[in-house]
Amino acid sequence: MNVLVIGANGQIGTHLVNQLQENKDHEVTAMVRKEEQLEELKQRGINAVLANLEDSVDDIANAMKGADAVVFTAGSGGSTGADKTLLIDLDGAVKSVEAAEKTGVKRFVMISAFQAHNRDSWADNPIKHYMVAKHFADEKLTESSLDYTIIRPGGLLNDPAIGKIEASENLERGSIPREDVASTVVEVLDAKNTFHKGFDLITGETSIKDAVGKI
């Protein structure tokens, strides 16, 4: 499976690209928006394409050509304003879904936010605009023709991977290393039991393989 990673230069995306590059069952293409990022990846032997989520659906679709699956792990980041959240986390995600449908890519994995499906859980959240963006991007994906999986990780850590998770539709808030989020993505790519489902994800007591198998 050739997997296009959107947001390949982000923190989860970097882990994911590295894991897919080493995975014998998959090939990876990293989508980035800066020429210097593209060159750095190519120097490491990683296939990469240049595209910007603020460009057109057709531009994003061109970057997807040849992909069998798409993982959306892009984000505007905490240092930008609400306008960039709308442009990247919402509209960029929606355009990526539309581009996947346009190019015939069926498999789509979305990295969302913890409890993004549950409005009541973020009613008083200081980054409510971000949660709203994630919520409606996910809604668009669920209404699409794609074989989607939506992963909603808890508090993201830069700690070393633990390799054990808890994954369910609704969980009490927790945290998880970004590296384990990436490993979960790799595990769900071929897991048909996760198609058309979304789940919260935190560190737990079950191996990633077994936890994904029970979703």
Cross-strand pairs, 2: 27
- Of the listed 108, 114, 122, 130, which one is catalytic? 130
**C-beta of residue 4 within 8 angstroms of C-beta of residue 29:** yes
Taken in order 18, 20, 24, 27, the sign of the CA dihedral is negative
Q: Tell me the two tokens of residue 142.
A: 């669920």
How many CB atoms within 10 Å of residue 32? Answer: 26
**C-beta of residue 128 within 8 angstroms of C-beta of residue 82:** no
**What whole-number distance in Å separates Cα of residue 7 and Cα of residue 58?**
18
Position of tokens 């936890």? 211
Does 130 participate in catalysis according to the annotation?
yes
Question: Parallel, antiparallel, or unpaired: how do β-strands 147-153 and 197-203 relate?
Answer: parallel
Q: Report, as residue numbers or ranges, the catalytic residues.
A: 130
